[in-house]
Every structure is written in C-alpha cells, then in structure tokens.
Amino acid sequence: MDEKSYYSRLLIVLLMVLCFGVIVLQYICPTSDCQLLHLVSLSSRLGSRAPGNRMNGAGAGDPYSSEDGALVRFVPRFNFTSKDLNRAVDFNIKGDDVIVFLHIQKTGGTTFGRHLVRNIQLERPCECHAGQKKCTCYRPGKRDTWLFSRFSTGWSCGLHADWTELTNCVPSFMVSRESQERRRTPRNYYYITILRDPVWRYLSEWRHVQRGATWKASKHMCDSRLPTVSELPSCYTGDDWSGCSLEEFMVCPYNLANNRQTRMLADLSLVGCYNLSVMSESQRWAMLLESAKRNLRNMAFFGLTEYQRKTQYLFEHTFRLSFITPFTQLNGTRAASVEVEPETQRRIRELNQWDVELYEYARDLFLQRFQYARQQERREARQRRLEERRKLRAKVKSWWGVTGKAVFKSTKEPPMTEQSPAFLEEKQADAGQTLESETEGQVNWLEDDDSETILDYLENVEQWR
C-alpha cells in the first residue's frame, strides 16, 4: 500500500511539473518566434538547401530563385553606390505623386501595365470597364490620377513615348488637368520601365511588324520639334511592312528596332535628336548609352521580363504597394517559338550591341538591387528578433525574480569584519558571481552575434542566374 501511494504521489508530482513547464513556456514564449521554432525553421531551411533536395525545395523555399531556371550563382560586375541600390521611395498616393510608366515595345510592358491598373491592392482601386482599354485610377477622395500609363491616361504624350518625350510632356500634361490653386504645388514624378533581353525583344518586334504593326502614330518629339523625313526615313514603301522576312528586317539601316531600348531611355537632346550629322555614329551611340545608364540608375524602378517574381518584389519594395496575385514567368512567347540559327543570333547581337551592353548593365543593377533589398529585409527581421529576445530575457528575469543580489539574508548572523572568514568567503563568492555574470554576458553576446551571422550567411548563400 505504501509503495502504491509512493508511486501515485510521484506521478502526481511529475504531472504537476509538466503542467508547470507548459504554463511557463506559454508565458515566456507566447508567440511563434520561440527559439525552439527558430531551430526548426533553420533546420528546414538547411534541409531544403541540401544538394539532394535543391530541386525539390527550390520552389517552396524561395520562389525568387526558382524562376531563374538554371541555378547559376550571380557574380556582380559593376560597382554601385548604396543610393543606386536602395530605391525605396516615399510614394504618397493620397498626395500629388505620380508614377510614369515608360513603355518600350515588346518588353512585356502590356502585361505589366495591366498589373498596374488591375492587380494592385489599393484603398481606391482603378475602375476598369469591359470593352474599354483605359481605366480610371483616382486617388482616395480626389478626382486626380496617380498613374500615367497607357491603360490610365492613354498615349497622351505620343505612342510609346520615350524618355526624352515623357520628361518634357508629362509635367505640362498633368498641369493642364489641374486647377490654378493646385498648380502651385510641385509634384514628384517616379519613372518606371521594363527591359528585355535584346535578342528576344528584337525577334518579338520583327514578328509584330510582320503581322502589320507600324507604330506610325509615334511622334518622336525632341527639342520641341518632330524629326524630318530625311532624319527618320522609312524601311518600307507601302502602308506597312507585313510579311517581311527576318533578313529584310535586319538589313534596313533605318530600322528603329535596332538598339531601341538604349535610344528610348537616353536623352536624345544630348546628340542633336535625330540629326545624324552632328557627330560620328560611334560617338553618338556611346553618349546615348551613358545617358541611358544614368537615367536607368535614377529611375525609381525598372524590371526585367526574364525575372517576373523579382520584378514584382522590387516594385512592392520600392513603392510599398502590394499586388493581389503573383506575377508568372511565361516563356511561351511568339519570339520563343522562332527557330533562329546561332549565326543569325550573333548578327542580331551585333546590330543591337548597345542594347546588349545596356541590358547587361541593367541586369547587374537589377539583381544587386534585389539582393540589397532582401538583405535589408533580413536585417530588419533580425533586429526585430533581437528586440524580442531582449524583452524575453527581461520577462524571464522579472518572472524568476533575478536581480543579481541576494534577496534573503539571516538577521541572526554576527556582523562581519574584513578579517572574518565569512567576509572573505562572501567577497570571493561576489567576485566569482561578477566574473560569471560578465562571462555570461560575453557568451550571450557572442552567441547572439554568431548565431545571427551564421543565419544571415545561410540565408544569403542563394543561387542566382
């Protein structure tokens, strides 16, 4: 009977200890950010990045790396300042700020433009009606647009207006729609665009022209005048160039498809607009390339057709706006269906050598911006975790009553002198406790720093295209 009673009491004690432990755990770790959960999360990340699980866990672990196809590590080629990489802007949609979309032909700009008017979570969503190409994108509480694009304001500055046209046209266009009182308030204009691999963009434009596209309505306004016929001669004599072969498309020296992205992103006023007699061709294109690079760096945002998820991420990070549905990477374009010989691809690259150089520069800047934004996001998350740990330690210390000093002392002990054994004993104990607390502080500091450094390193060792 005594033995059964003993085991019953032991079982009750164990249950009480277990219940007490659960209560303590819920008290000191009420959220899912518990250290144990951090260990589980870390082990799951390590498991998904193991060589054997890389393909299986790529999509679930990191959607941004899974879109790249071949997992080749990205190595930066260009040096950019932190100002070039950190492009988060204070976009005030309720104020007077305007996003201006520079739409370059055959870069996927139509899809991105539809995302802007139909796929952003807004307090006042754009009003889009069936059968109408344009949507009404007003600010909350105002009859004033926050977006200048094909699907909001139409081609108000000309069909596929370039950087030279937009920077001279958009401010005056917006002023013309304002009242006299509002015109005194300056606006912030945030220019954005989408770029594409030059070879595939060129092939896509050829297929589009082959089906009858001409873009005759494009103004090409520069220095307040239109180009003359001699400055911009046509490659065809009829109404359009439908049915042209790729060879015919490539041999025309006046084809605006050649290096289109560089020309549309540069300041054409620097080279005499479309007057080719101002300087040599090599000097002209060198100046246009540097201008395009500079304008691209200073733009609030640009995306790449080949990186849809990263483009979405950087736009959301830059403007603090969120898309409703994620972007999808579609490779089944008309250009992708064209079988082109390697020699023909080489010739296309030579024809678009300035676009090729600009795209490599843009791709490097784009991926560095993405990497910078992700690292910044992780640093902020790590800082929040450190703050939670400090609060957790303070909560535990206050719960257990740990103050660093003895709380209870016997009142019947004789007074101690500096020579008494009790005093020397307590002095040694205090010294040991001080050393222990200092050592504990060093261990905690090293542990926090090392663990976070290792976590940051593991999270940053990613595969890049």
Q: What is the Cα–Cα distance from 330 to 110, expressed in whole angstroms?
A: 14
- CA 48 – CA 126 distance, rounded (Å): 40
Look up 103 and say whether it is catalytic: no
- The secondary structure of residue 68, as a DSSP letter, is T
Question: What's at 195, amino acid-wise?
Answer: L
Q: What sections of 63-142 are H helices per DSSP?
A: 63-66, 82-85, 109-118
Contacts 24+ apart (CB under 8 A), 52-60: 54/463
Contact of 241 with 216, CB cutoff 8 Å: no
Q: For strand 301-304 and strand 98-102, is the pairing parallel, antiparallel, or unpaired?
A: unpaired
Q: Of 350, 348, 316, nearest to 335 (Cα)? A: 348
In DSSP terms, which residues pair with 101 in a beta bridge?
192
How far apart are alpha carbons 345 and 46 in whole angstroms? 41
Q: Please name the residue ranges forming H helices in 230-280.
A: 246-251, 260-265
- Please name the residues in contact with 228: beta carbons below 8 A apart, sequence gap of 6 or more: none
- For tokens 């606006």, the residue is 187
Closest CA to 244 of 235, 254, 253: 235
Residue type, 158: G
Question: What kind and span of H or E run contains 440?
Answer: helix 421-460
Which among 38, 103, 115, 160 is annotated as catalytic? 160
Tell me how many helices (H) and strands (E) the chain has: 15, 4
Report strand pairing: 189-195 vs 301-304. Answer: parallel
With left for phi above 0 and alpha for psi between -120 and 50, is residue 141 left, alpha or beta? left
- Residue 401 region by backbone torsions, left for phi larger than 0, else alpha for psi between -120 and 50, else beta: left
Cβ-in-10-Å burial (0-12, 13-18, 19+) of 402 comes to exposed
List, as one string, the DSSP characters of 76-126: --S---HHHH-------TTTT-EEEEE--TTSSHHHHHHHHHHSB--SS--
Cβ neighbour number for residue 293 with a 10 Å cutoff: 19
Structure tokens, 408: 């209870």
Enzyme catalytic residues:
160
